[in-house]
């Protein structure tokens, strides 16, 4: 049996960093990518698609978006098994959903396809009464299995005595694999990214469940969010910074469809012309590009102390002659000089 495992699609989500036009474009792209996903599943003879929660982002999602999704489900024609996430609890099976869209919950906690039984996060009594090791068993969960302080924490210890072949997870937007009692617990990650806190490749997990279990992550998203650091410590002007950024993007295999954040780091000489706006305009070919400046002006405290008729020198000497600890003196000197130079404070 071939199974496609996805989760955390968050249809209808907005990204406030983008212009309204690009937000609209990405929302349109998201449903098109989901339709493409079902087309891929159909063309490659997947038997089942699993959606482990957070299909929609919020209750404000449009009916048009829902209908477009369910049209793709209907066209796929094979079981699409879904469990609630923490964003889309309101999605329920009703007369408008296709018959092949199967919602698993506490009441409808198991569904069989061939010799494979798919389970929701049900109570142990239901598992003990219905679980059969003679069949293959797949458990669908949405929550955090790593952090017990999370409101959506799931304690997977209660499932250790059941011989699940595969546990399909949603909630964490990064592909991760855990092994619990020799069973793989797999976060497929989000199907596509919705912000700079979700960088890198996004996709789904392809599962083959025959005589033996095999699974692999498959990149799928059209766009990636990318964060790249650029140390400008030895730069002489904005042109050298521009060339550094170009080389970094080349080495990072950044594509025109990607959303890119460059973080400037390091310490630069006073008087350096960074000209960030001009640099940013050179990357208009990217779908989205921004520069976050975390670089700092290089401060030579010893040199400044000896300057004549200098307010900076007076400030440094005042701090140096105080009764503070050395670490405190160094910090206050740096912050004070940053303020005098009109820099953002490095705290």
Reduce the DSSP state of residue 123 to 3 states and report it: coil
Average pLDDT value for residue range 170-199:
92
pLDDT of residue 91: 58
How many residues appear in the chain?
Answer: 347
Give the pLDDT of residue 167: 97
Mean pLDDT over 342-346 rounds to 67
Report strand pairing: 288-293 vs 259-265: parallel
Residue of 319 and 190 predicted with greater confidence: 190
- How far apart are alpha carbons 180 and 237 in whole angstroms? 54
Interatomic CA distance for residues 224 and 49, integer angstroms: 23
> Looking at the predicted structure, is the pLDDT value of residue 203 above 80?
yes
Both tokens of 8, joined, read: 């955390």
Query: What is the average pLDDT value for the chain, to the nearest integer?
Result: 88
Q: What local confidence, expressed as pLDDT, does residue 332 receive?
A: 81
What is the model's pLDDT at position 2? 97
HSE toward the beta carbon, residue 280, CA cutoff 13 A: 16
Q: Mean pLDDT across the stretch 236-244?
A: 93
Average pLDDT over residues 81-99: 72
Name the more confident of 85 and 110: 110
pLDDT the model gives residue 32: 93
**Predicted pLDDT of residue 346:** 60
Measured CA to CA in angstroms, residue 2 lies from 118, 247, 284 at distances of 13, 41, 42
For residue 235, give Cα distances in angstroms to 200, 249, 268, 280. Answer: 28, 17, 7, 17
Q: Distance between CA 18 and CA 5 in Å, rounded?
A: 29
39-43, 132-136, 159-163, 309-313: which is most confident: 39-43
Task: Check residue 94 and give its pLDDT.
Answer: 56
The pLDDT of residue 264 = 94
> How confident is the model at residue 26, as a pLDDT?
86
Listing DSSP states for 16-75 in one string gives TTS-HHHHHHHHHHHHHHHHHHHHHHHHTT-SEEEEES-SBS-TT--HHHHHHHHHHHHH
Per-residue pLDDT band for 270 (boundaries 50, 70, 90) equals confident
The answer on pLDDT for 161 being more than 70 is: yes
Cα(9)–Cα(31) distance, integer angstroms: 9
Summarize the confidence of residues 72-99 as an average pLDDT.
80
Measured CA to CA, the distance from residue 278 to residue 285 in angstroms comes to: 14
Is pLDDT above 60 for 93?
no
The predicted-structure confidence for 130-151, as pLDDT tens digits, reads as follows: 999 899 999 999 999 998 888 8
Rounded Cα gap, residues 337 and 330, in angstroms:
11
How far is residue 5's CA from residue 323's CA, in Å, rounded to a whole number?
63
Domains of the chain in sequence order: 2-219 (3.60.21.10), 224-298 (no CATH), 300-347 (no CATH)
Between 303 and 114, the more confident residue is 114
The answer on pLDDT for 52 being more than 60 is yes
Which two three-digit tokens encode residue 272?
A: 């350096």
Residue 171: pLDDT above 90? yes
Whether the per-residue pLDDT at 90 is higher than 60: the answer is no
pLDDT band at 59 (very low <50, low <70, confident <90, very high): low
Mode of pairing for the β-strands spanning 136-142 and 166-170: parallel
pLDDT tier, 175 (very low <50, low <70, confident <90, very high otherwise): very high
Per-residue pLDDT, averaged over 266-291, amounts to 89
Q: What is the mean pLDDT of residues 247-256?
A: 94
Residue 304 has pLDDT above 70, yes or no: no
What phi and psi values does residue 207 have, to the nearest 5 degrees?
A: -120, 135
Q: Which own/partner contact pairs does 153-160 have at CB distance under 8 Å and 24+ positions apart?
A: 154/121, 156/180, 156/185, 158/124, 159/127, 159/183
Q: What is the pLDDT of residue 207?
A: 98
**Residue 57 and residue 190: Cα distance in Å, rounded?**
12
Secondary structure (DSSP) of 274-324: --HHHHHHTTTTSSEEEEEE--EE---HHHHHT-TT-HHHHHHHHHHTSSS
Confidence at residue 330, expressed as pLDDT on a 0 to 100 scale: 67
pLDDT digits (tens, 9 = 90+) for 10-46: 888 777 678 888 888 988 889 999 999 999 999 999 9
Specify the pLDDT at position 122.
76
CB-based burial of residue 101 (10 Å sphere; 0-12 exposed, 13-18 middle, 19+ buried)? buried
């Amino acid at each position: 049996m071939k199974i496609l495992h996805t989760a955390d699609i968050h249809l209808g989500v907005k990204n406030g960093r983008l212009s309204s036009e690009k937000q609209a474009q990405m929302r349109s792209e998201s449903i098109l990518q989901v339709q493409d996903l079902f087309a891929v599943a159909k063309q490659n003879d997947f038997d089942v698609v699993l959606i482990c929660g957070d299909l929609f982002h919020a209750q404000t999602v449009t009916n048009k978006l829902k209908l477009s999704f369910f049209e793709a489900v209907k066209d796929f024609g094979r079981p699409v098994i879904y469990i609630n996430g923490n964003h889309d609890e309101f999605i329920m099976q009703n007369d408008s959903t296709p018959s092949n869209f199967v919602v698993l919950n506490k009441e409808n906690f198991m569904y069989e396809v061939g010799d494979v039984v798919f389970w929701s996060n049900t109570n142990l009594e239901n598992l003990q009464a219905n679980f059969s090791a003679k069949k293959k068993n797949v458990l669908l969960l949405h929550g955090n299995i790593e952090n017990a302080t999370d409101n959506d924490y799931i304690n997977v210890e209660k499932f250790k005595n059941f011989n699940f072949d595969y546990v399909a997870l949603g909630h964490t937007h990064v592909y991760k694999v855990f092994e619990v009692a020799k069973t793989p617990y797999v976060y497929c990650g989000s199907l596509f990214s919705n912000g700079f806190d979700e960088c890198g490749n996004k996709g789904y997990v392809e599962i083959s469940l025959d005589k033996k279990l095999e699974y692999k992550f498959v990149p799928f998203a059209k766009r990636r969010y990318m964060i790249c650091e650029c140390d400008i410590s030895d730069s002489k002007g904005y042109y050298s910074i521009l060339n550094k950024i170009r080389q970094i993007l080349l080495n990072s295999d950044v594509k025109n469809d990607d959303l890119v954040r460059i973080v400037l780091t390091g310490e630069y000489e006073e008087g350096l012309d960074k000209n960030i706006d001009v640099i940013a305009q050179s990357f208009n070919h990217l779908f989205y590009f921004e520069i976050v400046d975390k670089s700092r002006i290089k401060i030579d405290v010893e040199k400044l102390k000896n300057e004549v008729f200098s307010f900076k020198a007076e400030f440094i000497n005042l701090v140096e002659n105080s009764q503070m600890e050395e670490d405190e003196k160094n910090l206050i000197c740096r912050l004070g000089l940053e303020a005098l130079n009109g820099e953002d404070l490095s705290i």
